Structure 1
Amino acid sequence: MSNNSKKPIFAALAMIGAGASFAIVNGALQASTMQLGVPSTSAAFWQYALGLLVGLPFVLRRGFSALKTHQIGWHLARGVLAVIGIQLWVAGLARVEIWQAIALVMTSPFFVIIGAKLFFRERVGLIRWLATLAGFSGGMVILEPWTEGFSLAALLPVGAAAFWAGTSLVTKKLTATEDADSITIYLLLLLTPVNALLALGEGGIVPTGPALWLLVGAGALTVLANYLLTLAYQKADAAFVQPFDHLKLPLNIAVGFFAFGFAPSGAFWPGALVIVGASLLVMLDEQKRDTQVSTA
């Protein structure tokens, strides 16, 4: 087997590895906040501060040239969107069982579609609008806002999905003129002080014992997951690796079940199936557009 034929397999394994790492990160965050009482703002700070310590030497391999930019405003906007998304996500994990949180945050691509239309005037098309409607309908099925058991806390992962979609849109704009290293370093440098201020505002608890080690592990695995994600997209086309990203759903369910005994409700399954199906429809539409552009 040639090296070229191995690349798609390597990319798929890297994407699965990223999903597994993120699932363990989510489990560690849920354990430290929901069970050990660490405030969500402190958990978010330590996760990314430790991630910064682990990843900074690799990001700064180019020296201070990585800080050169003509798009400081967009870097700041991306940092603000990312901070809000992270805070909403960790707050959600402190209150919502992991299976529900991960399914709801998977609505992020549909927010990207809406944002691309509103802010960048991109052509969306009927298929993507139908997929977006279906994706949000699947989220509603999982949320079950019409039942007595519905809690507003369940909307926190949806809010995280919306703000992370905004982060993705700004990232897309930045990649037109900025290097990947610069985009990464600015995000890490902006996240840590803002997260620190938010943590201090809530008491700034320094975790000890098991909570400390859980957050150290979460920080290291956050860096590993992002590295594997980058490798996956480097080794194969996005259209090939994207379906493997959906494995994060069963991986997170497994972490929630084995670590906490959380099991999805009956309404989860049809809702999650609709979200995943709608996401795959968007991916296929994107692949079709790319093919049309390349043959034009």
Structure 2
Amino acid sequence: MTDATIVSNSKAALTGAFWMVFAGVGFALSNVSIQYLTMTLGLASPSATFWQYFVSLVAMAPVVWRIGFSGLKTRRLGLHILRVGLAALGVQLWVAALAYPVPIWQAIALLMTSPFFVTIGAALVLGERVTSRRWGATLLGFIGGMIILAPWSEAFVWGALLPVAAAVLWGSSILCMKKLEEEESPQSVTLYLLLFLSPINLLLALGAGFELPGTAMAWWLVIAAGLLGAVANSTLAMAYARTDAAYLQPFDHLKLPLNVLCGFIVFGWVPPGNLWLGAALIIGASLFIVQAERKTG
């Protein structure tokens, strides 16, 4: 490897890390905007979810145009619909958790258990071989989740299970995506997600009693959450396009302190010590799984 190649790879890695952190900031700001919108201003979570992702879809229209509708050609329409349906339900439960309200620090930490559900699903549904070490890491991650949930404490509320349910649904959506990408392009998978997510969210919002944001501030928060989500997803893709996922994973975990900071600034929430112990177990276990996938990939 030449010096020029090493320098080029280092620049790509640094750029990827920057975009990953930037995406984390965008997601954290989007999350706290939606939590304020639903918890403080009272907009119903199904309607808030629809408006947020509708704004994101409008913002992502150039991406849809660039991919082109030729990307809709598929022999697995049912699996596409299932994947988007799972993702939409995951989004609905996530926003419902924020509206409950589940403190943002607890919600985001529990959402980080999603890779462990992917590991279980890959073994049971896709028939992938999972080593004993990966099973051990998965168990360790769930122990971390239980420490954060603390169902044995008087402070436990059933609404805290909503982020866990969202993690299950998003993990299932990822499994569908992995199956689809065995035969179809990532562009096709992305296009179906962009086009179908808003109609499904609209149906769910109509079923729960469709609402418009009632104030100018509510509209600004919806627009901000949608635009921030679109920007965050775009920069996330830019990060993964520049360097290895295993290298980026530690930067992805910065989303926890970023969300903790936003929760503290906006709502004054200070997480207890069990968050950091549980999060350390979840992060350590997920990093192990990412490294294991990198070696076997």
TM-score of the aligned structures, taking structure 1 as reference length: 0.95
Residue of structure 2 in register with 1:182 after alignment: 188
Shift of 1:260: 1.2
Find the aligned partners of 2:86 and 2:113 in 1 and give their Cα distance. Answer: 16
CA contact (8 A) 2:64 2:194 kept: no
Shift of 1:272: 1.0
Q: Once structures 1 and 2 are overlaid, which stretch shifts more, 61-70 or 155-164?
A: 61-70
Three-state SS of the structure 2 residue aligned to 1:120 is coil
Amino acid at match of 1:267: N
Amino acid at match of 1:104: L
Q: Percent identity over the alignment?
A: 53
CA contact (8 A) 1:60 1:66 kept: no
Residue of structure 2 in register with 1:289 after alignment: 296
Shift of 1:114: 0.3
Q: Where do residues 12-27 of structure 1 align in structure 2 (5 Å cutoff)?
A: 12-27=17-32
Aligned to 1:225, which of 221, 226, 232?
232
CA contact (8 A) 1:109 1:279 kept: yes
Find the aligned partners of 1:234 and 1:146 in 2 and give their Cα distance. Answer: 43
CA contact (8 A) 1:141 1:268 kept: yes
CA contact (8 A) 1:60 1:185 kept: no
Find the aligned partners of 2:25 and 2:254 in 1 and give their Cα distance. Answer: 8
CA contact (8 A) 1:85 1:160 kept: yes
Q: Where do residues 1-296 of structure 1 align in structure 2 (5 Å cutoff)?
A: 2-94=7-99, 95-207=101-213, 208-290=215-297
Shift of 1:258: 0.9
Find the aligned partners of 1:151 and 1:62 in 2 and give their Cα distance. Answer: 44
CA contact (8 A) 2:67 2:191 kept: no
Find the aligned partners of 1:141 and 1:4 in 2 and give their Cα distance. Answer: 39
Shift of 1:187: 1.1
CA contact (8 A) 1:128 1:282 kept: yes
Find the aligned partners of 2:174 and 2:239 in 1 and give their Cα distance. Answer: 17
Find the aligned partners of 1:144 and 1:245 in 2 and give their Cα distance. Answer: 25
Residue of structure 2 in register with 1:293 after alignment: none
Shift of 1:116: 0.3
Find the aligned partners of 1:191 and 1:62 in 2 and give their Cα distance. Answer: 17
Find the aligned partners of 1:285 and 1:174 in 2 and give their Cα distance. Answer: 23
CA contact (8 A) 2:53 2:198 kept: yes
Shift of 1:4: 3.7
Shift of 1:126: 0.8
Shift of 1:194: 1.4
Amino acid at match of 1:243: P
Find the aligned partners of 2:296 and 2:62 in 1 and give their Cα distance. Answer: 39
Paired residues, number: 290
Give ranges in structure 2 of 5+ residues lacking alignment. none
Any idea what the Cα deviations from partners look like across 1:174-226, whole Å, max 9, x if unmatched?
A: 12222222211211221111111211222211103111111111111111111
CA contact (8 A) 2:145 2:278 kept: yes
Find the aligned partners of 1:186 and 1:5 in 2 and give their Cα distance. Answer: 34
Find the aligned partners of 1:197 and 1:5 in 2 and give their Cα distance. Answer: 46
Shift of 1:101: 0.1
Which stretches of structure 1, 4 residues or more, deviate above 6 A after TM superposition? none
> Closer, same or farther in 2 for the Cα pair 1:62/1:111, shift >3 Å?
closer
> Closer, same or farther in 2 for the Cα pair 1:62/1:273, shift >3 Å?
closer
Find the aligned partners of 1:5 and 1:103 in 2 and give their Cα distance. Answer: 30
> Closer, same or farther in 2 for the Cα pair 1:62/1:108, shift >3 Å?
closer
Find the aligned partners of 1:149 and 1:49 in 2 and give their Cα distance. Answer: 35
Three-state SS of the structure 2 residue aligned to 1:267 is helix
Shift of 1:89: 0.4
Give ranges in structure 1 of 5+ residues lacking alignment. 291-296
Find the aligned partners of 2:109 and 2:206 in 1 and give their Cα distance. Answer: 30
Any idea what the Cα deviations from partners look like across 1:231-281, whole Å, max 9, x if unmatched?
A: 111100111111211011111111111111111012211111111111111
Shift of 1:58: 1.8
